[in-house]
Amino acid sequence: MQRSLTPGGTAEEPTKWIPSDSYIFDYSTGDHMIDVICGARPNFMKVDPIIKNTDPSVEIRLIHTGQHYDHIMSQSFFDDLDLPRPDVNLEVGSASITEQTATIMQRYENVFLERRPKAIVVVGDVNSTLACALVAVRYGVPIIHVEAGLRSFDRHMPEEINRVLTDQIANLLLITSTEARDNLLAEGRQSEMIKLVGNPMIDTLLRLLPSAMDSGSPPPDEPYALVTLHRPSNVDNPERLGAVLDALGNLEGLRILFPAHPRTLRNMDEWNLNIPERLSIVKPMSYLDFIRCEVDASVVITDSGGVQEETSVLGVPCVTVRTSTERPVTLEIGTNVLCPDTSLIPEAAAKQIASRPDSPPVIPMWDGKSGKRIAAAIENYTGGTR
Ligand code: UDP
């Protein structure tokens, strides 16, 4: 493996690692197989269009780390999306971030050494993303990061750490929107490693929207807000989570449908928090049911990254209960607004509802064709079956 280093970086021009051509194609012990990694709920809709658009002559080994393992957080997506069964399940389960990352690394290394892929594809920003990338980089196997370059600039978020570190060691950086390129360049990544491919999660949304409208469970027949919350900053502190629940109880004229993440449910139970009367707290929903409910919601209140994107494409008003977002395009088009102050959530929701767009906005390359572009970029980079 050869690498060249641009020595003597400065603040303006940081030191850059440049993979040489020989590095890209130096997988001498490698196979013609590509590992595609998934592990948690938001990964499944991102790997689906990659797998479905990759030429059948390219062998894919689908690795599920088992970071999410409940039927409703994992298998139900394989069913709804018609995703192939994973070739390997590392069955890591719940644990602290450190233990989960370390266990995935250990277990993936075993699988990896049994049969070494010629490249690995990681998506998003979950612990599985970074853990598997760390294994591949140790063996000089190229890493392709899909959804690279998103930045909240909030390093308290575990996902931000996963994003920054994965992007530092990835060899091909596939981005969903233009600001990601600036973020990556500012961190010293090379322009020629970066390719705008659009948003694969939106491929899955657009593909399954008709099925969701046909077969998703019908939403409430009165105006409602759909709520999802699972970020540690909102749900890992009883005062904060209690304040969010109180604010939701103050939303005028809306029923609140809250499919709560297992982590959020566990904390609400443990702290015995007061649940305002108009809140219907239910288990996490299947993908089709959730999309169905997103479409008809008066407003969506969330701290999810993917939900900010989906509501933007659907033209559904969204309030994000966070200080920052790594998806600024959703703010620019106006479907989404940040509202970290819980007491202001009802006001922000009312404003968003009043300014609902007449038709869904168009975001460049969020067009249902990202899977094709990603598959082409991967094949181009790895040389297909060569
Ligand atoms: N989602 C779902 N059921 C739910 C809540 C969310 O299917 O009850 C889907 C949602 O449509 C989106 C994805 O889960 O596609 C977002 O995942 P999550 O919020 O867990 O992760 P993030 O996007 O914040 O990383």
* Token pair listed for 102: 């370390």
Catalytic residue among 68, 145, 230, 261: 230
Distance in angstroms (rounded) separating the CA atoms of residues 54 and 384: 10
Tell me which CATH code domain 209-354 carries.
3.40.50.2000
Distance 304 CA to ligand 1 centre (A): 7
Distance in angstroms (rounded) separating the CA atoms of residues 118 and 104: 19
Which amino acid residue places its CA nearest to atom 23 of ligand 1? 306
Distance in angstroms (rounded) separating the CA atoms of residues 36 and 59: 10
Q: Do 3-199+366-382 and 209-354 show the same overall fold?
A: yes
Does the predicted model carry a pTM greater than 0.75?
yes
Contact at 8 Å (CB) between 164 and 187? Answer: yes
Residue 216 confidence (pLDDT): 74
Residues 180-196 have pLDDT tens digits of 999 999 999 999 999 99
Distance in angstroms (rounded) separating the CA atoms of residues 319 and 335: 8
Residue 218 confidence (pLDDT): 83
Residue 30 confidence (pLDDT): 53
DSSP 286: P
Q: Which of 55, 183, 25, 44 is nearest to 124 (CA)?
A: 44
In the block, residue with structure tokens 């959730």: 290
Give, in order, the Cα–Cα distances in Å from 163 to each of 42, 52, 56, 77, 173: 14, 25, 30, 23, 11
Burial class (CB in 10 A: 0-12, 13-18, 19+), 346: buried
Residues 299-332 have pLDDT tens digits of 999 999 999 999 999 999 999 999 999 999 999 9
Distance 290 CA to ligand 1 centre (A): 8
User: Ligand 1 pocket: which residues have CB below 6 Å?
Assistant: 41-42, 45, 228, 259, 284-285, 287, 290-291, 304-307, 310
**Four-way CATH pick for 3-199+366-382: 3.40.50.800, 2.30.30.50, 3.40.50.2000, 3.40.50.980:** 3.40.50.2000
* Token pair listed for 277: 């009367």
Distance in angstroms (rounded) separating the CA atoms of residues 109 and 65: 12
Which amino acid residue places its CA nearest to atom 10 of ligand 1? 307
Which amino acid residue places its CA nearest to atom 9 of ligand 1? 287
Q: Is the dihedral of CA 219, 201, 177, 368 positive or negative?
A: negative
Burial class (CB in 10 A: 0-12, 13-18, 19+), 308: buried
Distance 72 CA to ligand 1 centre (A): 11
Show me where the domains of the chain are located. 3-199+366-382, 209-354
Give, in order, the Cα–Cα distances in Å from 370 to each of 202, 212, 222, 268: 8, 21, 35, 38
Long-range contacts of 105-111 (CB under 8 A, 24+ apart): 105/131, 105/132, 105/134, 105/135, 107/65, 108/63, 108/65, 108/132, 108/135, 109/135, 111/63
Q: Which atom of ligand 1 is nearest to the CA of 72?
A: 3
Which amino acid residue places its CA nearest to atom 21 of ligand 1? 42
Distance 356 CA to ligand 1 centre (A): 22
DSSP 59: E
Distance in angstroms (rounded) separating the CA atoms of residues 300 and 208: 19
Which stretches in the chain have pLDDT values below 70? 1-31, 384-386
Distance 201 CA to ligand 1 centre (A): 10
Q: Which atom of ligand 1 is nearest to the CA of 287?
A: 7
Would residue 32 show up in a list of annotated catalytic residues for this protein?
A: no
